[in-house]
């Protein structure tokens, strides 16, 4: 289909998606830059985790308020604000080395957290407005395609961050990313003009919290699902690979990049894996069964690390299995929230759900640094398994299709 044949809504959504992709690339690169650079400076795992504390805290706040703002202002404005804030966050990291204190880095990460979740909320909410309510299969495909492609780019961002740190140094990498994203922001302000996503009514501030039992259960399950990933993935794993297994920065970044890229590819193909070809879209039973399948993987990884000396082989193979199963779980959740959301003021429901997602990342990030520093990677993996089981039990409370 030629561009001239696309509807205005679809053209605007493609711009939103392009913005989201570029933002995701820099966000993944920045995270890897911060982890590896400050580990190189001698920061402990817990100190590195705390650098991301405000990133996650403000992600929670932004998802809650961002949905309300999107319903009032339109998703184009929340997207553009997010891009500009990320440029400002990157610029804050260009101060002299003596001024790059933990408090300053945490403040920059806070801005980055606001920016990232404004972008995510805008992109995810827009899909609901483009797919007719009765075409749930099409909605499932669109959601998984967006989510999968985003995570593939985030994975490439990990590799990019490690590579830029080696070739350009910390400041050189930050300058390059800030310039590129500033150009994207300028183009977005010029091209993203349609005010889609505005609610037909002006939602009150008290309507920020979801009143749908299904959305509440799903949001709680999402919190524990992403806490289960980040409790070992965010800080514990890259520091373990670098400090314990003596992997180089490029190798750590490259490996995590390939993992997230593969994770994104699986997400994009989740409809085929979950039986979409038979015409059945996911429901609560689907979310429960896939979560229970995932729950055993981190526990088995922890046991294997205790009884075997082949840590590298165990982690690589275990990560592959975890990545595939986690990607399917995440895709099922992402479809369900968009399916459950109210079309009028969709950003309110999506924002509430991703607030829980950000809360899970926050809990997982802090635990990742603290548990790894005090008890090691095995403890992180065991907590991950418990979190997934809780997510599965919450998913069991979700609606199921009537036969």
128 compared with 345, residue with greater pLDDT: 128
- CATH number (domain holding residue 27): 1.20.1250.20
Residue 403 lies inside a defined structural domain of this protein: no
pLDDT exceeds 70 at position 7: no
Range of the domain at 126: 3-197+205-395
- pLDDT band of residue 199 (cuts 50, 70, 90) is low
Instruction: Specify the number of domains making up the chain.
Output: 1
pLDDT exceeds 50 at position 360: yes
pLDDT exceeds 50 at position 84: yes
Q: Quote the mean pLDDT of the chain.
A: 81
Percent above pLDDT 70 for the chain: 81
- pLDDT band of residue 197 (cuts 50, 70, 90) is low
Residue 61 lies inside a defined structural domain of this protein: yes
Residue 75 lies inside a defined structural domain of this protein: yes
- pLDDT of 183: 93
- pLDDT of 121: 75
262 compared with 193, residue with greater pLDDT: 262
Residue 402 lies inside a defined structural domain of this protein: no
7 compared with 4, residue with greater pLDDT: 7
- pLDDT of 320: 87
3-state secondary structure the chain: CCHHHCCHHHHHHHHHHHHHHHHHHHHHHHHHHHHHHHHHCCCCHHHHHHHCHHHHHHHHHHHHHHHHHHHHHCHHHHHHHHHHHHHHHHHHCCCCHHHCCHHHHHHHHHHHHHHHHHHHHHHHHHHHHHCCCCCHHHHHHHHHHHHHHHHHHHHHHHHHHHHHHHHCHHHHHHHHHHHHHHHHHHHHHHHCCCCCCCCCCCCCHHHHCCCCHHHHHHHHHHHHHHHHHHHHHCCHHHHHHHHHCCCCHHHHHHHHHHHHHHHHHHHHCHHHHCCHHHCCCCCHHHHHHHHHHHHHHHHHHHHHHHHCCCHHHHHHHHHHHHHHHHHHHHHHHHHHHHHHCCCCCHHHHHHHHHHHHHHHHHHHHHHHHHHHHHCCHHHHHHHHHHHHHHHHHHHCCCCCCCC
Residue 340 lies inside a defined structural domain of this protein: yes
- pLDDT of 1: 45
- pLDDT of 283: 83
Q: Among 240-249, 283-292, 340-349, where is mean pLDDT lowest? A: 340-349
- The whole-number average pLDDT for the span 42-61 is 80
pLDDT in tens, 102-111: 889 888 988 9
- pLDDT of 396: 93
- The whole-number average pLDDT for the span 127-155 is 69
Residue 400 lies inside a defined structural domain of this protein: no
Residue 401 lies inside a defined structural domain of this protein: no
pLDDT exceeds 90 at position 99: no
- pLDDT of 32: 84
pLDDT exceeds 60 at position 210: no
pLDDT exceeds 80 at position 9: no
């Amino acid at each position: 289909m030629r561009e001239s044949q696309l509807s205005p809504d679809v053209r605007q959504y493609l711009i939103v998606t392009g913005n989201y992709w570029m933002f995701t690339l820099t966000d993944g690169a920045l995270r890897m830059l911060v982890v590896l650079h400050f580990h190189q400076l001698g920061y402990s795992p817990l100190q590195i985790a705390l650098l991301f504390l405000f990133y996650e805290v403000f992600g929670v706040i932004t998802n809650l308020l961002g949905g309300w703002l999107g319903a009032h202002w339109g998703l184009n404005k929340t997207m553009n604000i997010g891009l500009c804030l990320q440029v400002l966050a990157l610029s804050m990291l260009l101060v002299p080395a003596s001024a790059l204190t933990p408090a300053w880095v945490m403040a920059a990460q806070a801005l980055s957290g606001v920016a990232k979740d404004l972008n995510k909320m805008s992109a995810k909410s827009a899909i609901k407005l483009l797919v007719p309510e009765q075409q749930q299969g099409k909605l499932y495909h669109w959601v998984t395609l967006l989510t999968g492609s985003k995570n593939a780019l985030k994975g490439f961002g990990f590799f990019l961050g490690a590579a830029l740190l080696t070739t350009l140094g910390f400041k050189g990498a930050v300058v390059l990313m800030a310039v590129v994203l500033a150009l994207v922001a300028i183009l977005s302000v010029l091209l993203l003009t349609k005010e889609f996503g505005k609610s037909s009514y002006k939602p009150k501030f008290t309507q920020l919290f979801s009143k749908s039992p299904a959305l509440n259960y799903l949001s709680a399950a999402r919190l524990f699902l992403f806490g289960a990933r980040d409790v070992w993935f965010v800080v514990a794993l890259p520091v373990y690979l670098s400090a314990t297994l003596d992997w180089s920065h490029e190798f750590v970044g490259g490996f995590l990049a390939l993992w997230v890229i593969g994770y994104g590819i699986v997400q994009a193909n989740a409809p085929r894996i979950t039986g979409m070809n038979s015409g059945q879209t996911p429901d609560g039973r689907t979310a429960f069964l896939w979560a229970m399948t995932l729950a055993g993987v981190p526990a088995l990884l922890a046991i294997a690390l205790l009884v075997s000396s082949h840590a590298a082989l165990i982690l690589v193979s275990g990560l592959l299995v975890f990545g595939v199963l986690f990607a399917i779980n995440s895709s099922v959740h992402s479809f369900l929230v968009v399916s459950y959301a109210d079309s009028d003021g969709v950003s309110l429901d999506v924002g509430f759900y991703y607030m829980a997602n950000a809360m899970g990342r926050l809990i997982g990030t802090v635990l990742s640094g603290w548990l790894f520093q005090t008890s090691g990677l095995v403890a992180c993996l065991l907590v991950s398994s418990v979190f997934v089981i809780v997510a599965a039990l919450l998913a069991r409370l979700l609606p199921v299709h009537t036969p």
